[in-house]
């Protein structure tokens, strides 16, 4: 059974214990963790490890980012770290991102925001100041900009548990709502079809009266009367071009118009059906 694939992105040496605990948590939920150190990334022949990780992200369903005290190694031929580049890859592919930052690092970041023009400041928790720019890049984005400070691994896991439960509820609710809407439309179509099926023999009989003898499906679909009936531009039965004049004691009557006028309500139900539905109805009546 397919399971959600969750990519874990962080620096390795200072956060390897966190990565391992998150991996176990993901497995306990029945999800599939993707971590490079567990051979869960396909290292593509002829390509770098870093590019293979970026490619693997495209095939994941969620992305967990953990920012600790280190910015990490730079991506080959780049000014950004590997972790930073992985975050941008997930964001560009519209993968749901769950980003966390060490609480002490976040406290240093708040100080840096107010004093970033001063290069001489030494921060307690952070080893490389580039990490502040990474955090700032995340928080300044219009989307995927949630960054959760955590003080313990349990804080991190509890947040993931709540967020993923909420996602499941949202998905289930949306699916249920879409199904209810589809069922409602199906009921409407069925009702319209049943209504039309009752009225269609009358319609066929009237076509025979006004000049179409034993009409088949093609005759009806192409008959000017019917074309006008299913044309949304025809607002009234009196606009139809169906003429059958008879003369009786010096009086002329348009029998075709009279017939259609008396059956306007019956014909209106046919406008709600498309041609495929009408084909089915015609076939059932002719059998």
Q: What is the DSSP string of 38-65?
A: GT-S---TTS-HHHHHHHHHTT-SEEEE
Residue 28, pLDDT above cutoff 80: yes
Residue 11, pLDDT above cutoff 90: yes
pLDDT value at residue 231: 47
pLDDT value at residue 238: 42
Give φ, ψ of 119 to 5 degrees. -80, -20
Where in the sequence is the domain holding 268, given as residue range(s)?
182-286
Q: Decide: 258 and 247 in contact? Cβ < 8 Å.
A: no
How many residues make up the chain in this entry? 287
The mean pLDDT of 214-233, rounded to a whole number, is 50
Pair (132, 26) in one structural domain: yes
Residue 102, pLDDT above cutoff 80: yes
Q: Does residue 166 belong to any structural domain of this protein?
A: no
Pair (16, 124) in one structural domain: yes
Report the distance separating Cα 236 and Cα 264, nearest Å: 8
Pair (231, 100) in one structural domain: no
Pair (109, 34) in one structural domain: yes
The percentage of the chain sitting over the pLDDT mark of 90, rounded to a whole number, equals 41
Q: Which of 104, 132, 151 is the last residue of a domain?
A: 151
Of the listed ranges 13-27, 134-148, 232-246, 250-264, the one predicted with least confidence: 232-246
Residue 276, pLDDT above cutoff 50: yes
* Greatest mean pLDDT among 108-117, 225-234, 239-248: 108-117
Q: Which of 151, 169, 192 is the last residue of a domain?
A: 151
Q: Does residue 167 belong to any structural domain of this protein?
A: no
The domain that holds 16 is classified in CATH as: 3.40.50
pLDDT value at residue 30: 93
Plot region of 60 (φ>0 → left; ψ -120 to 50 → alpha; else → beta)? beta
Q: What is the DSSP string of 193-260?
A: HHHHHHHHHHHHHHHHHTT--S--HHHHHHSHHHHHHH-TT--SGGG-----EEEETTEEEEHHHHHH
Pair (197, 122) in one structural domain: no
pLDDT value at residue 207: 54
pLDDT band at 239 (very low <50, low <70, confident <90, very high): very low
Q: Does residue 95 belong to any structural domain of this protein?
A: yes
Pair (193, 142) in one structural domain: no
pLDDT value at residue 144: 79
Q: Decide: 193 and 273 in contact? Cβ < 8 Å.
A: yes
Pair (54, 133) in one structural domain: yes
Report the distance separating Cα 249 and Cα 18, nearest Å: 101
**Distance in angstroms between the alpha carbons of the first and the last residue of the chain:** 46
* Tens of pLDDT, residues 159-200: 999 999 988 887 776 666 666 666 555 545 454 554 555 555
The mean pLDDT of 82-99, rounded to a whole number, is 94
pLDDT value at residue 112: 93
The mean pLDDT of 192-218, rounded to a whole number, is 52
Domain count for the chain? 2
Better pLDDT: 222 or 160: 160
């Amino acid at each position: 059974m397919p399971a959600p694939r969750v990519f874990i992105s962080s620096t390795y040496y200072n956060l390897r214990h966190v990565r391992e605990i998150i991996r176990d948590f993901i497995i306990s939920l029945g999800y599939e963790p993707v971590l490079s150190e567990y051979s869960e990334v396909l290292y593509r022949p002829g390509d770098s490890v870093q590019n293979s990780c970026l490619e693997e992200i495209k095939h994941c369903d969620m992305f967990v980012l953990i920012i600790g005290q280190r910015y990490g190694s730079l991506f080959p031929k780049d000014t950004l770290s590997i972790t930073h580049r992985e975050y941008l890859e997930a964001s560009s592919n519209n993968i749901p991102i769950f980003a966390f930052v060490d609480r002490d690092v976040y406290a240093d970041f708040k100080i840096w925001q107010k004093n970033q023009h001063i290069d001489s400041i030494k921060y307690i928790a952070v080893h490389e100041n580039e990490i502040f720019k990474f955090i700032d890049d995340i928080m300044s984005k219009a989307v995927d900009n949630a960054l959760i400070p955590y003080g313990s691994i349990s804080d991190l896991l509890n947040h993931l548990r709540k967020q993923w439960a909420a996602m499941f509820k949202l998905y289930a609710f949306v699916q249920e709502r879409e199904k209810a809407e589809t069922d409602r439309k199906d009921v409407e179509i069925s009702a319209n079809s049943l209504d039309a099926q009752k009225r269609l023999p009358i319609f066929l009989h009237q076509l025979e009266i006004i000049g179409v003898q034993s009409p088949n499906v093609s005759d009806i679909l192409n008959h000017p009367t019917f074309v006008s009936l299913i044309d949304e531009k025809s607002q009234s039965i009196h606009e139809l071009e169906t003429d059958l004049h008879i003369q009786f004691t010096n009086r002329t009557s348009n029998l075709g118009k009279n017939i259609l006028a008396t059956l306007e309500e019956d014909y209106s139900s046919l406008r709600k059906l498309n041609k495929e539905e009408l084909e089915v109805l015609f076939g059932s009546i002719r059998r």
